[in-house]
């Protein structure tokens, strides 16, 4: 995982937060993501690269397309860190899964 500083920096931009929200709902190509915004495709590519460098998203090639996906494990680790800071117990992996 990227250092938390990179993760927070990546999430400090509104466009990148919107991209994360879109990818929360479904995996998308760069073109599908770009269609949601009124900015240039190179700008979208720049935002996607920052999100990839911070490990918030991942990509995979599918034919001629690159499909972007949300990396939920990074968000889980961040939430665990927030809970630690707040002094809350952090559940172990798998704990409470079959309750």
What are residue 26's phi and psi, to 5 degrees? Answer: -165, 155
What is the pTM assigned to this prediction?
Answer: 0.78
How far is residue 72's CA from residue 34's CA, in Å, rounded to a whole number?
22
Q: Which CATH number fits domain 4-85: 1.10.287.110, 3.40.710.10, 1.10.260.40, 1.10.10.10?
A: 1.10.10.10
State the pLDDT confidence band at 74, using cuts at 50, 70 and 90. Answer: confident
State how far the Cα of 54 lies from the Cα of 32, in Å rounded to an integer.
21
Confidence of residue 91 (pLDDT cuts 50, 70, 90): low
Q: In the chain, what is the straight-line distance between the N-terminal and C-terminal CA atoms, in Å?
A: 29
Instruction: Express each pLDDT in 30-72 by its tens digit.
Output: 999 999 999 999 999 999 999 999 999 999 999 999 999 999 8
Instruction: Work out the mean pLDDT of the chain and round it to a whole number.
Output: 86
Buried b (16+ CB within 10 A) or exposed e, 17-31: eebbebbeeebbebe
């Amino acid at each position: 995982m990227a250092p938390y500083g990179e993760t927070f920096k990546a999430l400090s931009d509104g466009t990148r937060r919107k991209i994360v929200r879109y990818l929360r709902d479904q995996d998308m190509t760069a073109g599908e993501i770009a269609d949601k915004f009124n900015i240039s495709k190179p700008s979208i590519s720049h935002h996607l690269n920052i999100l990839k460098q911070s490990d918030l998203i991942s990509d995979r090639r599918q034919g001629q397309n690159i499909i972007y996906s949300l990396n939920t494990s990074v968000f889980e680790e961040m939430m665990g860190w927030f809970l630690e800071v707040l002094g809350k117990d952090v559940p172990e992996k798998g704990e409470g899964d079959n309750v």
